[in-house]
Amino acid sequence: MNAERLFTPEGDVHLRIWLAGVPFDYTATAEAARNLIHDWRRKHWCTIELIRDTIEDCRLLRRLPCERLFLGP
């Protein structure tokens, strides 16, 4: 997966994170999602989906927990 190709440089994206077969849907900034996927590539600790076309309004989804931790380098 090439995260740079998938994300616009700004704005929010819809992420679905699967843990133990349970999906969790979140909204995150594109930068936080890109850094999360970069971290995930080093050690696959869950399954991550990027939902590009969604019926749900991203504003209604919860923010990614500890999103600010993924905003830095």
Predicted confidence at residue 8, as pLDDT, reads 57
27-71 per-position pLDDT tens digit? 999 899 989 988 888 888 788 888 876 656 667 889 999 899 888
Higher-confidence residue: 5 or 13?
A: 13
| 15 in a structural domain | yes
Residue 71 covered by a domain: no
Number of folded domains in the chain? 1
69 within a domain of the structure (yes/no): no
Strands 22-29 and 62-63: parallel
Does 58 fall in a domain? Answer: yes
pTM: 0.73
Cβ(69)–Cβ(52) under 8 Å? Answer: no
* Whether the predicted pLDDT of 20 surpasses 60: yes
